[in-house]
Structure 1
């Protein structure tokens, strides 16, 4: 008990315990290092008639168990080769750049936007909002559930109505809206997403319409880019996302499936067929393709790896003839330009009235109280390919294209349709923009001629080589 007395004396000097003298006594049993017999016990094991058990302290039991476990592990490692044991952990698969999977996993939501669901890049990416989008795609044009990702860039600079018609054409023809990315190249900083521009402003883009109603994404460029810079921008985004391919489209096109053909296959399904063949040939090495043109380059499939070899678009040739330069170099380096088809693609300079009504059957649009009752046979006819609605729209889009080609003012009159917005935030003077655009394009043509020593657009057919680039440039 000497140790217990010493502890009691020690704790009694501490004010907290000195005021509670019963604390030590109450816990005396727990502080004893030896167990002594009570008054009822005489301490004589022989007189008790039962042998006294030896108790092993729990800590010694734990130590013995650990030692036994360590010994067993040592013997296991000594007599067994660990490398031959089966690996039950999930394998970690690392894909090389060219075979990053573009297929969604079974656990991944089918309608995840192709650039993700949250903002990134300093707040310049705006994913779709909600999950109740309209108009609904006709049943015969719905994309297959199990499909690869098909990123589609559509660049915008001016004319919101033209862009709307193009986007609706792709959606109506089966292109998944979550794979469509509008590139806002208006050069108006955050004025569009903050709704600071009027509808008459040619650079105005309706973010709410495209994100909340149509369910497509918007990706802003940090500044106004010319056509060559836009091509490099899209390539860079694809590289950052590890896409082996992507699509891009002009925004002045009309899109329809070949509904007049039987058996019927939607525009998007035909695109998937082209993509499947393209990827098979690329991965197997059977074909060395760089781009696939759907009706010239109105819609283009791009092989990202090929452009790593070809190099970027020449930003000093900003508009016209920059494609002559890029595709000429492409062919010089042994890559192919394949021409493929998927459906109707019209080159247009105007819009149809009420495109939601004309591109989609009545059953795909939300009804309002003022809508009249349509005959059942009319609805059934319009919910099948090659309806009267389709035939009328095909004829109208063909006329718009014919008018564009016959216009003495040129093909791009749609770019200068809107005259408002002067003085609004981040808005370039509309008339001045058009004048500067053409002067810049003309300067690019001159640079192209100087770069290749003249001779016109088709530099490959003129037997030009990469050694001819800037041959006449002064040191």
Structure 2
């Protein structure tokens, strides 16, 4: 308690002043000793008066516990990521022109009875080179870039828009490059699962009054039928649906580029949308290599309540397809172009613009030994396949270069020969993706480990492990929801739409 000196006699003040200073000194000494065990006294004063101006180092708390035991460091080397489109990455020049026969005609959508240009959503979470290849593939095949919407689902907030992440970061995305290509970027507010992102597509289409839209995965490479008929059966292909014999001839024997009646993959999609709307009332999906490229009827998804967000990843398509079929909505496999499900990237995407100075070849972003693929397989304990069964391809036999790339050929001069070399490389890329167990198809997603210390950094191996944990949790939700373990609910059970969460399981433990 402070001593009241004002108004005290002069002699008394002479005595009390030294005593007051002595009391203050004793208090300071006591404070110093009380904080000695937790650090410097001046640091405590800094904490009291305000935050530190410099970032504090991460120090392990002082206690008696033993330090944690760390997991072994991964044994395979992770290669550095390189930008597959050096022309755009290193200059301010506009993208090269696409082949003249693939340039989309203004107002083409109106020729097929559409009042708007239907959007193509491409979801992206990680691996920029894969996304860039996908986007460039669509553009050079004739898809109008202004109708492409890259959905940035990285979970890094505005870090990419503010150019705060490096190319080595798995979640890096270059907004400037995409704008120069003419495509749109739609950021999600938070990191979404597959099902949540599908519902994001749906809500965006609703908000913008788009009754129909397309979506694609980022790990695909597409072409139009520039060389006419294509009889190659690729790993992701299904049995095509044809309305009649004439329709089969029309789909399987398309005119080549430069011939009368030639249509790009984009025009074929518009044509398919027009025909479907005119011929079927209750339709949901048109798959153009399962869901690697998909046409969606918004009304069908609204009718069954959208995607089940509680099934984060695999299994959600089994649930959605079953509910749509139970409610009488059709889904068909149709053919509109060449689509390859890939896990690798062309070394220079200028090849897709038919640059004669570029020899088409691809590189593996995750070039690990075959025996080490098993380390990237799905964790033990998973019972259900990660998606409906796909036909497996034979292992490729072509020789690989020292850099892990395959050379398609040299001395290509004619446009048709160059296109054939591109398709050959893309087919090799698809075969390479299916070279091992189907779960190894996704090993490319775990090939980047950079970005340490950047905003919203997340451990790459932890992200991959979390993905599979959530995927298996989604499978369990599917099993409990329907009382059945396998994907084909309609073919294998008598379940109906209102049986969700109401039936006992139909298998023995």
* TM-score using structure 2 length: 0.61
Structure 2, unaligned stretches of length 5 or more? 1-91, 110-116, 229-253, 257-261, 359-410
1:267 is matched with which residue?
265
Determine which of 268, 271, 276 is the counterpart of 1:278: 276
How far residue 287 of structure 1 moved from its aligned partner, in angstroms, is 3.3
Residues 63-119 of structure 1: per-residue CA shift (max 9 Å, x gap): xxxxxxxxxxxxxxxxxxxxxxxxxxxxxxxxxxxxxxxxxxxxxxxxxxxxxxxxx
1:252 is matched with which residue?
219
Determine which of 330, 350, 353 is the counterpart of 2:347: 353
Residues 117-142 of structure 1: per-residue CA shift (max 9 Å, x gap): xxxxxxxxxxxxxx984232211111
Preserved contact between residue 138 and residue 364 of structure 1 (Cα < 8 Å): no
- State how far apart, in whole Å, the 1-side matches of 2:321 and 2:105 are: 33
Q: Which runs of 4+ in 1 moved over 3 A?
A: 362-365
- State how far apart, in whole Å, the 2-side matches of 1:276 and 1:142 are: 21
- State how far apart, in whole Å, the 2-side matches of 1:134 and 1:440 are: 39
How far residue 174 of structure 1 moved from its aligned partner, in angstroms, is 0.5
Q: 1:71-470 residue pairs with structure 2 within 5 A?
A: 133-148=94-109, 149-212=117-180, 214-261=181-228, 263-264=255-256, 265=262, 266-281=264-279, 286-356=280-350, 358-362=351-355, 381-382=414-415, 387-408=416-437, 410-461=440-491, 462-470=493-501
Residues 132-184 of structure 1: per-residue CA shift (max 9 Å, x gap): 84232211111122222020000000100000110011001100000000000
1:87 is matched with which residue?
none
How far residue 463 of structure 1 moved from its aligned partner, in angstroms, is 2.3
Residues 360-418 of structure 1: per-residue CA shift (max 9 Å, x gap): 123999xxxxxxxxxxx976x32xxxx22111111111111111112345111121111
| Structure with bigger gyration radius | 1
Aligned residues, how many?
A: 322
Secondary structure in 1 matching 2:420: helix
Residues 191-248 of structure 1: per-residue CA shift (max 9 Å, x gap): 0001111111000001111112x11110000000000000000000000000010000
1:5 is matched with which residue?
none
- State how far apart, in whole Å, the 2-side matches of 1:132 and 1:460 are: 53
Once the two structures are overlaid, the 10-residue window that deviates more, 439-448 or 417-426, is: 417-426
Secondary structure in 2 matching 1:362: coil
- State how far apart, in whole Å, the 2-side matches of 1:133 and 1:473 are: 60
Secondary structure in 2 matching 1:392: helix
After superposition, the Cα gap between the structure-2 partners of 1:406 and 1:378, relative to the gap in structure 1 and judged at 3 Å, is: closer
- State how far apart, in whole Å, the 2-side matches of 1:314 and 1:341 are: 28
Preserved contact between residue 134 and residue 364 of structure 1 (Cα < 8 Å): no
How far residue 273 of structure 1 moved from its aligned partner, in angstroms, is 1.2
2:502 is matched with which residue?
471
Secondary structure in 1 matching 2:490: coil
Q: CA RMSD in A?
A: 2.2
2:57 is matched with which residue?
none
After superposition, the Cα gap between the structure-2 partners of 1:455 and 1:279, relative to the gap in structure 1 and judged at 3 Å, is: same
Secondary structure in 2 matching 1:398: helix
Preserved contact between residue 162 and residue 252 of structure 1 (Cα < 8 Å): yes
Secondary structure in 2 matching 1:338: strand
Preserved contact between residue 135 and residue 364 of structure 1 (Cα < 8 Å): no
After superposition, the Cα gap between the structure-2 partners of 1:335 and 1:166, relative to the gap in structure 1 and judged at 3 Å, is: same
- State how far apart, in whole Å, the 2-side matches of 1:132 and 1:294 are: 34
Secondary structure in 2 matching 1:178: helix
- State how far apart, in whole Å, the 1-side matches of 2:412 and 2:486 are: 54
How far residue 318 of structure 1 moved from its aligned partner, in angstroms, is 0.5
How far residue 352 of structure 1 moved from its aligned partner, in angstroms, is 1.1
